[in-house]
Amino acid sequence: MKDLPMIKKNLISQMINKLDRLFSLQLAKKLFKSQLIVIMIFLISCSNNINEPPKISNYNSGVTIIGATDYIDDTTGFSFEKGDKVLFPNMGEDYKPDFFVTVATNERGDPLSVLLWSSDWPDKVSDSMFACLNCESSGFGDILFDTLTYIPYSNQYHYTYAVSPLVGNVYAIKTSNNKHGMILILESYFYQNSQDSANGFYRGHVKFKWKYQPNGSRNLLFK
């Protein structure tokens, strides 16, 4: 947009020439006014884009999928600190998951639902907790996730150690290192492959968008 003044001058000159030729026609005058308005909007928009600095978030964010591994007793979890999935159990991992995915079953072994779980650890290594922010008024989860600028306190919502993630739900999360994040569920289901079917094992799959505030505050802002 370095040539914006020259572009502006040329556009105005063209409009004046049109007006000289067609001034006697009322229809032409209306057309000219419409074109001039469009050009003014374009010029103002360009000017605003030049002067406005790009917005930078003060939090980390991304999209992640967690699910079962190729080993029947293993699954994957998610670490906000790492910003990626990690194995569960996390033998030798530098990062421990804030939660992992599993499948809830009844006494007969029939699947009930996918679960995101944080408390199934020896000596409660992970103390992460979930709070659903839109379960009582389902819908508009994507809007809530994109516009919420403050993760609620634990006394504002019921926090728990496990949730059954539904597509469109937004969850605030107190992480294992006592910081704060948020996820929006994009996909959630359980399934079996041929090997799983033979031994009655079900695998969970969850895809989600996430935000994480590494500075310990609950603010999710732009600067």
C-alpha angle with apex 1: 10 to 44, nearest 5 degrees?
75
Give exposure, 24-41, as e/b (b: 16+ Cβ within 10 Å).
eeeeeeeebeeeeeebee
Model pTM score: 0.70
At residue 123, the pLDDT reads: 47
Quickly state the pLDDT bin for 186 (edges 50, 70, 90).
Answer: very high
As a whole number, mean pLDDT of residues 203-220 equals 92
Using CA atoms, how far apart are residues 172 and 180, in angstroms rounded to an integer?
A: 7
At residue 21, the pLDDT reads: 60
Number of helices (H), then strands (E), belonging to the chain: the values are: 4, 10
At residue 35, the pLDDT reads: 62
Instruction: Write out pLDDT tens, residues 123-171.
Output: 444 578 888 888 877 678 899 999 988 888 766 678 888 899 999 999 9
CB-CB contact of 202 with 41 (8 Å): no
Using CA atoms, how far apart are residues 63 and 118, in angstroms rounded to an integer?
A: 19
Instruction: Write out pLDDT tens, residues 75-123.
Output: 788 999 999 988 877 666 678 888 988 888 888 878 889 989 885 555 4
CB-CB contact of 190 with 103 (8 Å): yes
As a whole number, mean pLDDT of residues 44-63 equals 67
Q: Which residue has the higher pLDDT, 55 or 67?
A: 67
Position 213 pLDDT exceeds 90? yes
- Segments making up each domain of the chain, as ranges: 4-51, 60-213
H or E segment to which residue 219 belongs: none
